[in-house]
């Protein structure tokens, strides 16, 4: 299933992370001993299988300065349940500009589906429905990255403009880190097929099955056409430290408002809020009992 637009290339050397497993391109000039994604130690590796190369690079449009600014704004706007000194005490450890990888596919398919819904039922709780329709899939992004989590890529995905893609990585100041595709083709096809299945289910439930609750949904997808292309997406990965612990924040390289990350919570503030809530409840009960 699917035609790749070009052939994989010759062997390359990559830096493989011992922590998250991401592989990034290796260059003499920009040698990074630590993983740009998670900060773990990397090792030089020459993969035995030829690696597929990125053909489309979405360029950076957000500068390092803008990314740093966005991180500071994000940190100070996280809300009450964070430590009060978070913004002032957090120390920015590193800010790396990198490209993470994903497949973008385009497909036309015939989707045959069946499922039960709560619409049209009489005495039984569920009624069966089925249908068949031609479904186009355009510019659907399926992450191939090992360096970023699903939560992170979910947050960033819609911030990228695919039509701005170039043949070379562009727009980043300084060191250029490009993640490598190192997932076999069969696995790639499977991920693309899964993404298509999920999308088809979502679309059918959203617009073709009447009702609001569904069960036993199944869909068979017959592909008429599938083109998969390899893309790389720009992001800033920030590592910051708060009281000895390391945290990671990721910002889209095309929209600095797309920022996702973990940050510490303040146990005392959370306990304080719970105590205040309990106190308010106790007061309310007292008032009610007095009124009654």
**Residue from 24, 35, 58, 70 binding Zn ion (CB under 5 A):** 35
Q: How far is the CB of 274 from Zn ion (least distance, A)?
A: 36
Nearest CB to Zn ion, comparing residues 71 and 100 = 100
Residue 15 binds Zn ion (CB under 5 A): no
Number of Cβ within 10 Å of residue 214's Cβ equals: 17
Residue from 38, 90, 101, 260 in contact with Zn ion (CB under 5 A): 38
Among 12, 13, 20, 92, which residue sits at the site for Zn ion (rule: CB under 5 A)? 20
By the rule CB under 5 A, 19 interacts with Zn ion: yes
Residue (113 or 181) nearer to Zn ion, CB: 181
Judged by CB under 5 A, which of 37, 100, 181, 240 binds Zn ion?
37
Angle (CA) 193 233 247, round 5°: 105
Indicate the residue among 129 and 248 with the shorter CB distance to Zn ion.
Answer: 248
Q: Does 40 bind Zn ion (CB under 5 A)?
A: yes
The size of the interface with Zn ion (CB under 5 A), counted in residues, is: 7
| 153 within 8 A of 102, measured Cβ to Cβ | yes
What SS3 class is residue 89? helix
Asked if 42 and 229 touch (Cβ cutoff 8 Å), the reply is no
Nearest distance from C-beta of residue 100 to Zn ion, angstroms: 12
For the chain, where are the E strands, in sequence order? 3-4, 14-17, 23-25, 42-45, 56-57, 91-117, 127-143, 177-178, 214-242, 245-252, 259-261
Q: Binding of Zn ion at residue 177 (CB under 5 A)? A: no
CB distance 225 to 42 below 8 Å: no
Q: Which residues of the shown chain bind Zn ion in the complex (CB under 5 A)?
A: 17, 19-20, 35, 37-38, 40
């Amino acid at each position: 299933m699917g035609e790749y637009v070009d052939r994989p290339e010759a062997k390359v050397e990559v830096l493989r992370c011992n922590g998250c497993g991401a592989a990034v391109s290796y260059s003499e000039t920009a040698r990074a001993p630590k993983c740009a994604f998670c900060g773990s130690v990397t090792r030089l590796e020459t993969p035995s299988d030829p690696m597929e190369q990125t053909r489309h690079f979405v360029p950076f449009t957000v500068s390092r300065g803008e990314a740093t600014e966005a991180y500071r704004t994000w940190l100070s706007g996280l809300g009450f349940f964070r430590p009060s000194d978070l913004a002032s005490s957090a120390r920015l450890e590193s800010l790396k500009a990198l490209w993470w990888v994903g497949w973008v596919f385009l497909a036309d398919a015939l989707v045959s589906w069946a499922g039960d819904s709560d619409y049209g039922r009489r005495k039984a709780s569920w009624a069966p429905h089925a249908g068949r329709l031609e479904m186009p899939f355009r510019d659907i992004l399926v992450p191939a990255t090992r360096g970023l989590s699903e939560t992170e890529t979910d947050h960033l995905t819609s911030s990228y403009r695919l039509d701005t893609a170039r043949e070379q990585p562009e727009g980043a100041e300084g060191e250029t880190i490009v993640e490598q595709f190192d997932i076999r083709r069969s696995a790639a096809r499977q991920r693309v097929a899964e993404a298509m299945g999920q999308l088809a289910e979502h679309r059918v439930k959203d617009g073709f099955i009447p009702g609001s609750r569904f069960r036993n949904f199944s869909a068979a997808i017959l592909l008429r056409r599938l083109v998969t292309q390899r893309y790389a997406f720009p992001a800033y990965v920030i590592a910051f430290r708060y009281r000895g612990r390391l945290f990671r924040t990721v910002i889209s390289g095309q929209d600095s408002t797309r920022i996702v990350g973990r940050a510490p919570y303040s146990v005392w503030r959370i306990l304080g809020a719970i105590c205040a809530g309990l106190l308010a409840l106790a007061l309310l009960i007292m008032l009610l009992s007095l009124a009654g």
